[in-house]
Amino acid sequence: MGVFNILQILLGLMLVFAIPGLLIIKIFFKQQSMIEKILYSAGISISTAIMIGLILGYLGLFTFKNILMTYVIIILGLIILQAKDIIYALLKISHKKEKEEKKT
């Protein structure tokens, strides 16, 4: 096994077992300890993978291409939701700075 194959396996495992759950945890549950985040994200990621498989299998669309496209769409949607929170926080900080500058 080459280095490229090992990287593919690691990235694939992260895509299935970490990224969807971690993004969902960051969006909906702000006050969690690191251990809770890791455990919840693994559980949510596995359940997401199962639900995608069940839905695509029921619809007769269970192919590698469709599974990959579904994962990419879900992850991009979650990244957009997370980016919205980050942008909102940055705008809130800049708005506070503007208020402080007006007071002085």
Q: How many domains does the chain have?
A: 1
Q: Which domain holds residue 37?
A: 3-103
Single out the residue of 70, 83, 82 nearest to residue 22, CA to CA: 82
The percentage of the chain sitting over the pLDDT mark of 70, rounded to a whole number, equals 89
> What is the tens place of the pLDDT at every residue in 28-63?
777 778 888 888 888 888 888 888 778 877 777 777
Q: What single letter denotes the amino acid at residue 85? A: D
Task: Provide the pLDDT confidence category of residue 15 given band limits of 50, 70 and 90.
Answer: confident
Give the Cβ contact number of residue 100 at 10 Å. 9
Quote the pLDDT of residue 11. 82
